[in-house]
Amino acid sequence: MGELRLLLLGKPGAGKGTQSLRIAARAGIPAISTGELIRCAIAEGTELGRRFKDYTEKGKLVPDELILAMVEERLSESDCQRGFLLDGFPRTKPQAEALEAWLQERAMALTAAVSIVVPDHVLVERAAGRRYSPSSGRTYHVKYAPPQVSGKDDVTGEDLIQRDDDREEVVRARLEEYQKKTAMLADFYRVRSLLVEVDGVASPEDVERRIAEALQPVS
Ligand code: AP5
């Protein structure tokens, strides 16, 4: 397998976080989730974290300039030299254009943009049942992906929590924001022949298999 530079597209709750950890582990590349970077900054209580919270708690996207500085810094770290998997970035056309320019300046290119496709009614149920380990970013679902011990992380045993933005009204706001600002990215990558669409309504194992199969021709 050559150098992989992947990104995952999909509505809130489509399974990006679940799949990104699996794909990245298999490929030996770092999974970079802008949602996770944001949640860490909020948990640390930094000035930037306080600014992020104003947006995330309403289900709104954080302004592009705040995200871009954070992502470019992360992509410049040494573990990204042999590839990376972006989860939740880009989310807007300016973010996609900035990523493209950043890669071009370094004579790099994306391998593929994988879009996980799931209908809205499934997404609301997935968000409602999601449980999350703040220190590792591992995600569970009370019904579809339960931890071995209820309420505890499988690896560390720490307590799982519910995300603040998983309340139903915030999930609906996130879906609207997606439709307005992010949905068009499928076309952005389709015209560049980078879009790989995968049906995300299946078990996490089956979705992982579908993604691996869909990536075989390009990886
Ligand atoms: P972010 O953390 O990226 O949230 P999101 O895109 O809304 O995605 P989620 O994390 O909700 O879902 P997911 O697709 O990762 O699904 P998961 O695998 O967890 O962003 C949060 C906020 O940060 C945004 O609202 C925004 O404010 C801000 N932000 C982040 N990036 C930004 C950017 N680039 N620009 C501006 N603002 C940004 O799965 C969901 C649930 O379903 C889990 O419980 C899981 O166990 C379960 N599940 C997963 N797969 C399956 C399956 N196949 N079958 C059954 N259940 C499943």
Q: How confident is the model at residue 136 (pLDDT cuts 50, 70, 90)?
A: confident
Q: Whose CA is nearest to atom 41 of ligand 1?
A: 126
Catalytic (active site) residue 163 = yes
How far is 179 from 123, CA to CA, in rounded Å?
Answer: 14
Ligand 1 centroid to Cα of residue 33, in Å, is 9
Q: Give the pLDDT confidence of 151-198 residue by residue, as tens digits.
A: 999 999 999 999 889 988 899 999 999 999 999 999 999 999 999 999
Give the CA count within 13 Å in the CB-facing half-sphere of 115: 20
Looking from the CA of residue 71, the nearest atom of ligand 1 is: 34
Q: How confident is the model at residue 1 (pLDDT cuts 50, 70, 90)?
A: low
- % of the chain beyond a pLDDT of 90: 88
CB 146 within 8 A of CB 57: no
Looking from the CA of residue 203, the nearest atom of ligand 1 is: 53
Of 5, 11, 53, 130, the catalytic one is 130
Measured over the CA atoms of residue 19, residue 22, residue 23 and residue 24, the dihedral's sign is positive
Residue 144 CB less than 6 A away from ligand 1: yes
Mean pLDDT score, 71-85: 95
Residue 16 CB less than 6 A away from ligand 1: yes
Q: Residues near 66 by Cβ (< 8 Å), separated by ≥ 6?
A: 48, 51, 52
How far is 186 from 127, CA to CA, in rounded Å?
Answer: 22
Of 16, 39, 53, 210, the catalytic one is 16
Q: What angle do CA 35, 12, 2 make, to 5 degrees?
A: 65
The mean of the pLDDT values for the chain is 94
Catalytic (active site) residue 26 = no
| DSSP classification of residue 202 | S
Looking from the CA of residue 163, the nearest atom of ligand 1 is: 11
pTM tops 0.85: yes
